[in-house]
Each structure stands twice: as C-alpha cells, then as structure tokens.
Chain A
Amino acid sequence: MQITINRNGENHGPYALEQVREMVANGTLQPTDLAHYEGASDWVPLDQVPGVADSGAPPVLEAAAPAATPAPTATQETFVPTGEREHEFRVECKPDFAYLTVQIPANQTLKVEASSMATMSTNMEMKTKMKGGLSRFLGGESLFINEFTAQGGPGEIGIAPGSPGDLEHCYLDGTKEIFLQSSAYVGSGMGVEVDSKWQGFKGFFSGEGLFLLRCTGRGDLWFNTYGAIIEIPVDGNYVVDTGHVVAFTGGLQYGVESVGGLKSLFLSGEGLVCRFSGQGNVWIQTRHPTAFAQWTFPFRPTKNN
C-alpha cells in the first residue's frame, strides 16, 4: 500500500506503509497529517489509515508478504507492494490527473514512453527506441520508448501520461513478472525488460487492443490508466472487460471470451471479456478510451460530396 502525505497543501511521497509507520514513530509525521492511500476515496487524517495507528499488529499486506529472502520462483503468485524502489520519485495530482517526477542519478538512464515527457533538467539527453515490431503495427498499436540519460550530474524528469487518470508504481525484484496493456506503459528502470507479446487471434479478435507487454527483470515500473485505477486481488476466477484491463501479475492464467452465451456476445453490449484464473493481482481502469470515442461518433460532421 502506497501512502501520500499532505502537509500544508504540499504532497509528499508516496511512501510504503512501513516507511510511514517509521516516520510516525520517530515524529517526522503527525497522526493529524492528511494522507491518501491506494483505494481510498478521499484524504483522511493519517491515524485513520488502516495499519498506521495500530502499530502493534502487522497490517494484512505485510502479513501476506513473502519471507525476507524468498526463493526465486518462476511464477510469482501475488504482487505485494513492499515500498522498495530503485529511483526517488513522486506522483502528484492523484487520482484524476496523476503526474510523475523521477530523480535520475548522474549518468544513469530511464526508459519513458515516447511523447509523455513534460519537463526535464537541461542535462537530460534523449535517445529513441522502438519496441514491438510488425505485429504491433498490424494491430494499430506501436510503442516507442525513449531513453533519457542524466549527463554529467543528477537530473529530473517530469512525465505526464497521455490519458488523464491514475498512475501506479511497481518494483520488480527479479522474480516478478507483470503484463501491461501496451497503452498503460509509462516508464521503467533500465533493469526492467519490456517485451511485447503477440496475442495472436484471441487478442486481435477483441478489437480492443489487448496487446500486452511483458515486464520482467529488476527495477521500477510505472503504468497509468484512463480514469481511476482499481486493484483486484484475484483468488480463483475474475472477469474484466478487455478494454478495462490495465495490468496483471504473471502467475495468472488468462483467456478472452464472451460474457454469457452467444446471444450475449452480440446483444449484451459487453463485447469480449478477459477471464483471469489462479492467484495474483489485476489492475483495472474505470474508464475506457474506446467507449468515449464511440460516444463522440454521433457528433461527427457529415462529409460533403
């Protein structure tokens, strides 16, 4: 759980729950400071954040965390935010207009989705890379990743994703694997490998661009949503409209299907859905760009012949 602190109108963090409890214990933070944590609908006094006040009992998230030195497994079941991070960063203007600022140490590089850089220090140098290849163009999707290097000294980059919405951070520790809907990618550390995984017929058929990026390796990973983000712990079976899938952990099985029977496929208005099974996390978005675009269609002008 990531917690953002607001004192005197200024945002700090986000911090992991453990960091926050430490700062409360040593007096850096006051229980009356305003806090916003993932999933909360509003700012609340810090002592009302679950797990902060009752420092005696460990919060649920930590209880579910793996042991200090987990044996690396091929499939990580559940993604547990540990507050670990590679870079110093902050996310402001959450949850409707999340904006990311990352500090980059001297001569180090960060991967950022093309055209989402909004501000940067003058010593940042940019190189363009393309991910994906032909299959992505066939699907009408392309992902260009720019590499920003802080030349000679530390630098800073401000990243504004294309869609207004929320932004999530994950730290990949080398054992985890996260799949991203390609348009959700915002940026990552150099140790994170970003692979496009051709969905073949099942992804293509959905018509909703279920093109996935497979993120592995070690380092920070940021992704964004159109609309708010909802994290769903899956234990068993969960269904998400393909257009609302943002990301999911690698241990989950997934398949694209229609809701209900054949009648429902064409009549329900729900299109195709993605069924996840197993144990892991799925992140979904509350809005869907295609649905919005379709809403605008009746307002298009008519062509004059």
Chain B
Amino acid sequence: MQIEITHRPGNSAARVSLQAGETITAEGGAMIAMSGHMQVETTTHKRDKGSILGALKRLVTGESLFLNHFTPNGGPGEVIFGTALTGDMMQFQMGSGPALLVQAGSYVASAPSVDMDMSWQGFGKALFSGESMFWIKLTGTGPVLINSFGAIYPIQVNGEYIVDTGHIVAFEESLNFEITKAGKSWMASFLGGEGMVCKFIGQGTVWCQSHNAGSFGTALGPILKPH
C-alpha cells in the first residue's frame, strides 16, 4: 500500500495505490475516484465485526454511519480520497508507539491492520461544551489518513500544554488530558468565547488544525437560510 498526498495544504487529496488483494478502509463519502476494478464493501464497523451497536456508536460520534472497504480485484488499483472542507491531510504510521486518538471528523482512512475503537469516550464528560468531543481510538500497525480544517501542525508536549478543543485533530495516548476552562472562572471562559480547552499532561504529540470548523460554521450560520 502506498499513500501519496497531493495538492497540499488547501485542496489536499490522498491517492492510495493498492496491490491486488490489499484493502483500505475509509469513512463513508471520502472516496472521490477509483480504479474500475475496485471492489467496495460497506459495513457498519470494522470488516467481519459489523454490529448494529457499532453503527450506533458511529452515529453518535458524528461520523457517517458506515465504513467502506476498497479492494482491487485481480490486479493493482488505486483509490483517491478527498474531504468536504478545505484543508490538509496527514499520513500517520502506526507502529510500536502509543495508540492514537483521532477527532471523529478528522478520520479519513486506515489499513485493515489498524484497529478502530469507537466506544472510547474519554471526552464524553465534555459533551455539554457544545463542541463535538468524540474520538476514535486507533491501535495496531499500519498507515492512517487524517484530515484537518486548514493547516495541520504537530506540538510536542513535554509537561503541560493547552489546546482549544476545536483545534485538536489527534493526539498520542501517552498524554493525559483534562478538560478545563480557558479563563479564571467558567463565566469568563464562556463570555470570552473560548469555552472549553484541553490541558495535555505528560509526553507525546498533539496534532492541531489551524482553523476551528465549529467557529467557521457558526460564522456562516446567520447568513444561511433558516430551516
């Protein structure tokens, strides 16, 4: 499997070349083009482990409900993935390192050797903040594709670091975190428009996006037609 990310950073797309029999699993709706002999299988969860429960969890996490599995039939093939919003993509190689926690909307695709767990909801307590706080936990070995709204940049945390919840794309599980307020009091935090922030503690990498999709949506909202 070979992954090439083109047209970075604004209009990035990922071209995945597969050998015959190799499979890549992607979020529903991510495929923009593919070889004609690509077999597509739709499941509610990781292949062979489909369950209604898994589908419900995915619905709750704000991800589209289904996963598509692409396998070229008979010879090598390719599939190209894109995203709805303008922004960058990143390829992450899972290996012996810690598990990766990915914001639900940032997951694009992964190799079948990477395990996805959508039941992990360490951030569930932050639900009332109004920002989508659901995460996919990735473990195992192999490549993972992640997208961001705007540019993507890593921050090496050694000690403590604060990131606005809307700007987190992914982080390593070696980090502990706590959801906290940006200001001195909750009132000040909400009036200041910062709401909830995430304080990371320990050692590891956090990948951030330059723009907050929720803020962009909120800015567009008033000029859209009411429904």
Interface residues of A, Cβ cutoff 8 Å to B: 39, 41, 95-96, 165-166, 227-228, 230, 232, 236-241, 244, 259-260, 263-264, 267-271, 275-277, 282, 284, 286-288, 291-292, 294-304
Is B37 within 8 A of A300, CB to CB?
Answer: no
> Nearest Cβ in chain B — how far from A274, in angstroms?
9
User: Contact check: which of A232, A237, A282, A303 meets B226 at CB < 8 Å?
Assistant: A303
> Nearest Cβ in chain B — how far from A45, in angstroms?
19
CA distance A301 to B221 in the complex (A): 6
Is A291 within 8 A of B29, CB to CB?
Answer: yes
Size of interface on B: residues with Cβ below 8 Å to A = 41
User: Contact check: which of B68, B220, B224 meets A270 at CB < 8 Å?
Assistant: B68
CA distance A239 to B77 in the complex (A): 11
In the complex, chain B residues whose CB is within 8 Å of the CB of A275: 36
Q: Does B129 contact A (CB under 8 A)?
A: no
User: Contact check: which of B6, B82, B220 meets A41 at CB < 8 Å?
Assistant: B6
CA distance A56 to B8 in the complex (A): 33
Contacts A41-B6, A260-B41 known; A268 to B35 CB distance under 8 Å? no
Is A239 within 8 A of B29, CB to CB?
Answer: no
CA distance A302 to B85 in the complex (A): 23
Closest to A276 in B: B36
C-beta contact mask, B57-74 vs A, less than 8 Å → 1, else 0?
000000011101000000
Contacts A230-B80, A232-B33, A286-B32 known; A296 to B220 CB distance under 8 Å? yes
Please list 6 pairs of residues, one from A and one from B, whose beta carbons are closer than 8 Å in the complex, sorted by A's number: A230-B80, A241-B33, A244-B32, A260-B39, A269-B27, A299-B221
Is A287 within 8 A of B66, CB to CB?
Answer: no
Q: Does B116 contact A (CB under 8 A)?
A: no
CA distance A202 to B83 in the complex (A): 25
Is A41 within 8 A of B221, CB to CB?
Answer: no
In the complex, chain A residues whose CB is within 8 Å of the CB of B7: 41, 95, 227-228, 230, 286
CA distance A282 to B36 in the complex (A): 13
Is A239 within 8 A of B218, CB to CB?
Answer: no
In the complex, chain B residues whose CB is within 8 Å of the CB of A286: 6-7, 11-13, 32, 82
User: Contact check: which of A41, A276, A288, A296 meets B8 at CB < 8 Å?
Assistant: A41
Is B66 within 8 A of A301, CB to CB?
Answer: no
Interface residues of B in 184-222 (CB under 8 A from A): 217-218, 220-222
In the complex, chain B residues whose CB is within 8 Å of the CB of A95: 7, 11
In the complex, chain B residues whose CB is within 8 Å of the CB of A303: 226-227
Is A263 within 8 A of B42, CB to CB?
Answer: yes
User: Contact check: which of A239, A268, A288 meets B28 at CB < 8 Å?
Assistant: A268
CA distance A240 to B36 in the complex (A): 9
